[in-house]
Amino acid sequence: MRIGIRTKLLVLLVLMALLPLIAALITITETARQTSTERYGEEISKAASLHAVSLRISLGKDIEKFDNQIQYVPDIVKTLGGLDKPTDPQVIEAIEASWGASSDTLKGILANDLSGRLRQIQASDSLIAEILVTDRFGVLVSATQQTGDYFQADEDWWRGAWDGGKGRIYTPPVNFDKSAGIWAIDVCIPIRDGKQVVGVAKLVLNITEWVRHLTDEKTVKIGSPPIPVSIMLVRRAGEIFYLDDHSENGHHASLDPRSNVLDQWYGEIAYGVKPGWRFTDKGMLQGYAPLTMPDKIGVNAVTMPSWSLVMSVPTSEALRSVYAMGFNVLWVGLAIIAVIFVFGMFLAERGLVRRIRWLGAAARNVTEGDLSHRIQNGGGLWRLHTADEIDELTDDFNRMISRVDKTHRMLTEANELKTNFIRVAGHELRTPVAYLIAMTKLLEKTDDPARLQKAIGTMGAKAQRLAEIIDSIFKLLPGQGRTDQVQYADVVLSEMLEEVYLDCKAFMDSRSQKFIIEVGDDLPVIRADRAKLCDVLENLIINAIKFSPDGGTIRLIAGKQLGGYVTITIEDQGPGIAAEDLPHVFDPFYSTRDVMKHSSGDIGYQKRGMGLGLAIVRHFVEMHGGTVHVTTSDKGSVFSVTIPVEPLAGHGEAD
């Protein structure tokens, strides 16, 4: 299926507009969400901390007030002070057996003056749901209503407040008070006559009334706009014993701690001692603070369990304004996209589609073989007289066609060079082979020993020439034997140069040429492949012999360079290298464009081979991590080989 450029541009414009909008919306919403979350989190944590402190202070004051109310009622202290003998256990057992609403003992206790005093205290404070008083032995003395037992000394609350006779204010864990029928906080206060503990009073405080009294029965709210907060009081084990829920679920404040445990009760909220806030998996933002009592109130030590006050709001409520802002940003962004889309399509049609069609037409012309075709960039007010990427593409297209045209011409020339190479190769290889074949036929008909010996020597020279040509070709081919690896060894350059000189001396003597070697005193021992380095120098010296005239001088200079390199320079007195040939002298099989100058004969002045020698030189030098350069003039050429004293990284020694 073909999709036009207009459709693609349409999709591109929509994506280019939508993606930044979506990214911006996500960024703005996420930033606002984090900011709003931090703000609400800090506010709800602060509110939880303030309410926890208020509850602690309120409870402390209430306990202190109740202590004063009970402690300073003269009749209570006087009556309890006189009860200094324990009740007979059998009597206690008999009363316990008949304990109930019809019990005469219970009726007497509820009707005595002390119980009346206690009911007056209860009536003065709506937080108090029940009061009872025992003597120092745990026997019930007075109460505001029917209790569950007559003998209280076996109850945890009594033992905690009695404290072995020392007395302390003791508050057991929150529990459901059966006689009062509420979830309550029991405040157990020792009653003293001087320093002596003569009894224990138990006040049952209604949790719901206590928390509502603290908040003045007003719904607690945080943030701006304000959000109603649900308040929970939680045991250290995680059970919720009070919940004032202002969420969409409605209001309910009476719970069973045995079946209502706060979600995700672990970490700082469960074990921490500092206020904080968190998110829950059920989408709630919660602030929490520990609620602990002072160690002492008045003269009494205090033992109370630690609670946590937890405030909750739905995260969706806290982030409602953020979501509303995101919705508004979305509508504004869509309106901007519509404007951008209309304007973008206009620009796309005028500035892109039409000009791309020009490029397409030009490409078809080039495909049909018109390499002279070029695109002319047009103008227009809509372009604001400035170049853009299409203009650059057009210029690149024109340059590409120019290079293709140039490459086409170069390929034509290269094809001509290939033809010349085939002719040269045919000449270089066929001449020795033809000579060998002819000589073998002639030698079949002669018995002259002298002639045979001369012919065999000539045939050996021709065969040696063939071997040299084939060996040169194979030296350039990777993977042939070990020619693609460098066999590093210590090389004394002065000794190697002497060896190369002796190998080439016979050719120089035949031309009456001089060979001068100049070696610096500080020439180091280098790590190199001796055989390959010898090939490099022999090829350069043989070329110098070929192109220097009879009686000429060839100079070799070797010296140490900065940076851990040595340079070997070979100077000849030849006619120099033509400017058009200079860039190609190191290319394989390149030996000038004049095919007729090639010769497969012995070394002679300006006789040319197959163009493999210098290619081998560059190949072997680069295998060492070195370089080879040439400078030339009509007075001769200078070839310089530079190689490192030690192998470079990436040119490590062969295994």
Q: How far apart are alpha carbons 69 and 499 in whole angstroms? A: 124
Could you tell me how many residues make up the chain? Answer: 655
Domains of the chain: 7-339 (3.30.450.20), 482-644 (3.30.565.10)
Q: Please, which pLDDT band fits residue 170 given cuts at 50, 70 and 90?
A: very high
pLDDT above 60 for 349: yes
Number of Cβ within 10 Å of residue 99's Cβ equals: 18
Q: How far is CA 653 from CA 480, 492, 564, 565, 623, in A?
A: 18, 18, 17, 17, 11
Q: What is the pLDDT of residues 568-586, one digit of tens each?
A: 999 999 898 888 888 888 8
460-466 CB contacts, 8 Å cutoff, 24+ apart? 461/602, 462/432, 462/435, 462/436, 463/432, 463/436, 465/432, 465/600, 466/429, 466/432, 466/433
3-state secondary structure of 577: coil
Q: Give the pLDDT of residue 137.
A: 93
Distant-in-sequence, close-in-space partners of 247: CB < 8 Å, separation ≥ 6: 228, 230, 312, 313, 314
Calculate mean pLDDT across residues 359-377: 76
Q: Please, which pLDDT band fits residue 553 given cuts at 50, 70 and 90?
A: very high
Q: Give the pLDDT of residue 554.
A: 94
Q: Please, which pLDDT band fits residue 135 given cuts at 50, 70 and 90?
A: very high
Q: How far apart are alpha carbons 403 and 604 in whole angstroms? A: 41
Instruction: Please check whether residue 151 is in contact with residue 96, taking contact to mean a CB–CB distance below 8 angstroms.
Output: yes
Let me know the angle formed at the C-alpha of 286 by 283 and 287, rounded to the nearest 5 degrees: 165
Alpha-carbon dihedral 489, 494, 500, 502, rounded to 10 degrees:
-130
pLDDT above 90 for 478: no
Q: Please, which pLDDT band fits residue 378 given cuts at 50, 70 and 90?
A: low
Q: How far apart are alpha carbons 291 and 54 in whole angstroms? A: 9
Most confidently modeled range among 164-168, 318-322, 331-335, 412-416: 164-168
Most confidently modeled range among 379-393, 411-425, 628-642: 628-642
DSSP 501-555: HHHHHHHHHHTT-EEEEEE-TTPPPEEE-HHHHHHHHHHHHHHHHHHSPTT-EEE
Minimum mean pLDDT range among 183-187, 238-242, 408-412, 550-554 = 408-412
Q: Give the pLDDT of residue 610.
A: 60
pTM strictly above 0.75: no
Q: How far is CA 122 from CA 106, 128, 175, 540, 618, in A?
A: 19, 5, 20, 122, 112
Q: Which residue has the higher pLDDT, 52 or 432?
A: 52
Q: Which residue has the higher pLDDT, 203 or 215?
A: 203
Let me know the angle formed at the C-alpha of 234 by 228 and 237, rounded to the nearest 5 degrees: 150
Mean pLDDT for the chain overall: 79
DSSP H helices in 72-103: 74-82, 89-97
pLDDT above 70 for 476: no
Measured between its terminal Cα atoms, the distance across the chain in Å is: 57
Token look-up 């002596």 returns: 196
Eight-state DSSP code of residue 319? T
Number of Cβ within 10 Å of residue 162's Cβ equals: 23
pLDDT above 80 for 382: no
Q: Please, which pLDDT band fits residue 510 given cuts at 50, 70 and 90?
A: confident
Which residue, among 114, 152, 131, has the nearest Cα to 67 in the 3D structure? 131
Asked if the bond preceding 225 is cis, omega within 30° of 0, the reply is yes
Q: What is the pLDDT of residues 386-422, one digit of tens each?
A: 566 777 778 888 888 888 888 877 777 667 656 655 6
Q: Give the pLDDT of residue 252.
A: 47
Q: Give the pLDDT of residue 247.
A: 52
Most confidently modeled range among 59-68, 369-378, 550-559: 550-559
| Amino acid at residue number 404 | V
Eight-state DSSP code of residue 285? E
